[in-house]
Amino acid sequence: MTGAYARRHRPAPRRHRPNYLAALGALLWLCLVALPLYVMLGASLRTRPDYSTGGPLSFPEHLTLANYVRDFSSGFGRYFLNTMIVTTSVVVIVLVLVPPLAFSIVRGRGPATGRVFRLFLLGLAVPAQAVIVPMFYVISTAGLYDNLLGVILPTAAFCLPVCALILTGTMRDITDELFEAMAIDGATTRRVFFQLVLPLSRGGVATIVVFSSLQAWNGFLFPLVLTQSEETKVLTLGLYNFQTQYGIDIPALLAAVVLSALPVLLVYLFARRALVQGLMGVGGK
């Protein structure tokens, strides 16, 4: 899946004349995509009376950040922090576990290596919804219910199959000659890993970081089922509660939606390539 994007710079199939029909279709789709986004941004930047009288589609009379400020002081600051903690921890776990795993799968010998890889491939087909009931049993038995750690561990575990798939793909591209050269130097397995494999898999590592942080940041089901108190609430859960409790205050609600997506949107602005590859990882899930 990374290959398709590596080929980005090769000339695309050339058409002899511009396809007006296709352009029209793309424009129509643009309206459907952009309209909700416009309403979201527009409503979040205006007062509630202004929104109620003007309606969602009208242009805001004057812009205000009051909705954002109010959201942040009414708990979203806390949710933001919790989501940051979950995301960082998940990324750290993935970064510690997956590179050695992928290294072992790609360079290891013997039938056991193949079996390990098949186990993770099997995991690709298991959706989180399928295991949420026993996960609740496992987490509450382990005493981790309503604890951020109880969200972090399963979230990280469900990132592993896709991350393993992405990173083994990258590591397979390292040529045998490089490994032989390091063997002649008398390098240990550990040195081969840190000085050859890791530096040459930076692209894949970046992709799994993006993928796992997106999974953690946008995760909803695990927090919904495995936490309950205000102290452990993450952004997605905060949004859901906000909607059920104050669903009528649409400007504040939509400001909260923007707030919850802001970091992802910022990363998208500045590192689109890495993010799009991470999103393709989401597709593998």
Partner 1 sequence: MVTLAAPAKSDRRRPPPPGTGPADRAVARPGLGWALPATLFFALFAIVPLLLVAVLSFASWGGIGAPEFVGLDNWVTLLHDPVMIKSLWLSVLLTALGVVTQTPLSILLGVWAAGPQRNRAVLSAIFFVPLLLSATAVSVLWRALLDPNFGVPAQARWLFGDGNLLGSRTGAIAVLVLVGTWQFTPLHTLIYQGATRAIPEVLYQAAAIDGAGTVRQFFHITLPQLRNSVITSVILMVVGGLTTFDTVLILTQGGPGTETTISAFYMYQKAFKSFDFGAGAAIALLLVIVATMISLIVVRLSGYDRMASPKEGL
Residues 42-101 that bind partner 1 (CB under 8 A): 43, 51-52, 55-58, 93, 96-98, 100-101
Binding string, 111-150, against partner 1, x = CB under 8 A?
-xx--x--xx--x-xxxxxxxxxxxxxx-x----------
Q: Which listed residue (69, 243, 245, 246) binds partner 1 by CB under 8 A?
A: 243
Our CB check for partner 1 shows the closer of 5 and 64 to be 5
Residues 162-191 that bind partner 1 (CB under 8 A): 164, 176, 179-180, 182-184, 186-191
Work out the burial of residue 167: count CB atoms within 10 Å of its CB; fewer than 13 is exposed, 13-18 middle, 19 or more buried.
Answer: buried
Shortest Cβ 60–partner 1 spacing (Å)? 14
SS3 of 56, please? coil
Shortest Cβ 9–partner 1 spacing (Å)? 10
Close Cβ partners of 247 (under 8 Å, ≥ 6 residues apart): 253
Shortest Cβ 31–partner 1 spacing (Å)? 11
**153 near partner 1, judged by CB under 8 A:** yes
Our CB check for partner 1 shows the closer of 45 and 239 to be 239
Judged by CB under 8 A, the stretch of 59-67, 73-81, 103-111, 203-211 that binds partner 1 is 103-111
Shortest Cβ 247–partner 1 spacing (Å)? 7
Secondary structure E strands in 146-250: none
Residue 265: C-alpha distances to residues 40, 203, 257, 259, 270 (Å): 14, 21, 12, 10, 9
Query: Count of CB atoms within 10 A of residue 82's CB?
Result: 22
Shortest Cβ 72–partner 1 spacing (Å)? 16
Q: Which listed residue (87, 212, 227, 260) binds partner 1 by CB under 8 A?
A: 260
Binding string, 203-242, against partner 1, x = CB under 8 A?
--------------xxxxx---x----------xx-xx-x
What's the count of helices (H) and strands (E) in the chain, helices before strands? 16, 0
Distance of alpha carbon 143 from alpha carbon 139, whole angstroms: 6
Our CB check for partner 1 shows the closer of 9 and 62 to be 9
Of 155, 145, 162, which Cα lies nearest the Cα of 279?
Answer: 162
Q: Which long-range contacts (CB under 8 A, 24 or more apart) does 5-10 make?
A: 5/273, 5/276, 5/277, 5/280
- Total chain residues near partner 1 (CB under 8 A): 123
Shortest Cβ 140–partner 1 spacing (Å)? 8
Shortest Cβ 233–partner 1 spacing (Å)? 12
Give me the DSSP letters along 94-160.
HHHHHHHHHHHHHH--SHHHHHHHHHHHHHHT--HHHHHHHHHHHHHHTT-TTSHHHHHHHHHHHHH
Q: Which listed residue (8, 62, 73, 229) binds partner 1 by CB under 8 A?
A: 8
SS3 of 224, please? helix
Q: Which long-range contacts (CB under 8 A, 24 or more apart) does 16-22 make?
A: none
Our CB check for partner 1 shows the closer of 73 and 283 to be 283
The DSSP secondary-structure symbol of 59 reads: P
Shortest Cβ 123–partner 1 spacing (Å)? 6
